[in-house]
Amino acid sequence: MIAAVLRGPRSLAVTTVLSPTPGPNDAVIRVTAAGLCGTDYRIWTGERAVRYPLVMGHEFVGTVAGIGSAVRNIAVGQAVAVEPNYSCGSCALCREGNRNLCLSRVAVGIDVDGGFAQEATVPARCCWPAPAGLSTERLLMAEPLAVVVRAVGRAAPAAGETAAVLGVGSLGLLAVQVLRARGCRVLAVARSTRRLDLARELGAEAVALSGADDDTAAARAFSGREGVDLVIETAGTALAVEQAVNLCRPGGRVVLTGLPHEATALNFFWVVRRELRIIGSMIYQDEFPEAMRLLEAGAVQTDRLLSRTFPLDRIDDAFEAHRAPDSIKVAVIPPAD
């Protein structure tokens, strides 16, 4: 089969490799599309260390091409979205249901080979059957949507509450829609005006430009009180964490789902003074079914989020496109045979 093999920083070779052989509990997925995200980009540049050679790609969907002898949850020919993480299943965290926090968690496309290839082998329990008729392009959003479903769920929003979404990349634009589906009023806040119109089209009732506008004043005006009830932070920057605290009303909740890689100069005075709850949200536990349900119900629009697709052999171009200011989600399409 053909795979994009990362041999070192910015060194990808699209080449023929041996097809994977599934173990008894594994499934072989014929990949129909694989999305790129910031994590892939950092691995590609070498900023994030991995072992080489590696086939990256963790946001992928496809068709089940083969299953091991013990697999019962999926069948050959089924379209699936892959949950690209699996835990040990036996540690205290796993046993109490916190499998996303397992210290032995394996990330497909990061720790082991992933979906920038014609085929990928994953444990069958990582495969979530797609609702009938759901297009590959929509199914591709299942993984980032599962991240967002968890982040929003961690804030436990009530209908009629006000929410601010920080950052309007793919996660932020999905968060706007999931919050709307939960009955919240949404203020979208971003550093650039580029996608604020799109945020409005996808359901944000108001938008604010951070930096130029006084976004704290915008949050007060929008909520009609001291700030919004909850903030979903998707930007993954230290500044966004501080900003999230400033937008939130006393007694409100802040969910952080972006992963800031730098230290945050957060003034915890305000966390105590406002009695804020700051809640981390790490990927997903059991959110894929809800993500599928939202996609199937049409509660979430995805067509505006997939900016460009490239054939797998142009994956370098796909990484460049990922960094383009106007791009939201970029995906690669492996050759059919």
- Binding pattern for the stretch 88-127 against Zn ion, x by CB under 5 A and - elsewhere: x--x--x-------x-------------------------
CB of 84 to Zn ion, least distance (A): 8
Q: Which residues from 27-66 bind Zn ion, rule CB under 5 A?
A: 37, 39
d(CA 85, CA 123) in angstroms, rounded, equals 9
Looking at this protein, which amino acid is placed at residue 17? V
CB nearer to Zn ion: give 11 or 104: 104
CB nearer to Zn ion: give 102 or 175: 102
- DSSP character string of 55-113: ----EEEEEEEEE-TT--S--TT-EEEE--EE--SSSHHHHTT-GGG-TT-EEBTTTB-
CB of 61 to Zn ion, least distance (A): 13
CB of 256 to Zn ion, least distance (A): 16
CB of 99 to Zn ion, least distance (A): 6
Count of residues engaged in binding Zn ion, rule: CB under 5 A: 7
CB nearer to Zn ion: give 60 or 222: 60
- Binding pattern for the stretch 66-95 against Zn ion, x by CB under 5 A and - elsewhere: ---------------------xx--x--x-
d(CA 334, CA 258) in angstroms, rounded, equals 28
CB of 105 to Zn ion, least distance (A): 7
CB of 267 to Zn ion, least distance (A): 30
CA distances from 107 to 33, 60, 247 (A): 18, 13, 33
d(CA 230, CA 33) in angstroms, rounded, equals 34
CB nearer to Zn ion: give 102 or 318: 102
CB nearer to Zn ion: give 85 or 246: 85
Burial of 91 (0-12, 13-18, 19+ CB in 10 A): middle
CB nearer to Zn ion: give 40 or 119: 40
Binding stretches for Zn ion (CB under 5 A): 37, 39, 87-88, 91, 94, 102
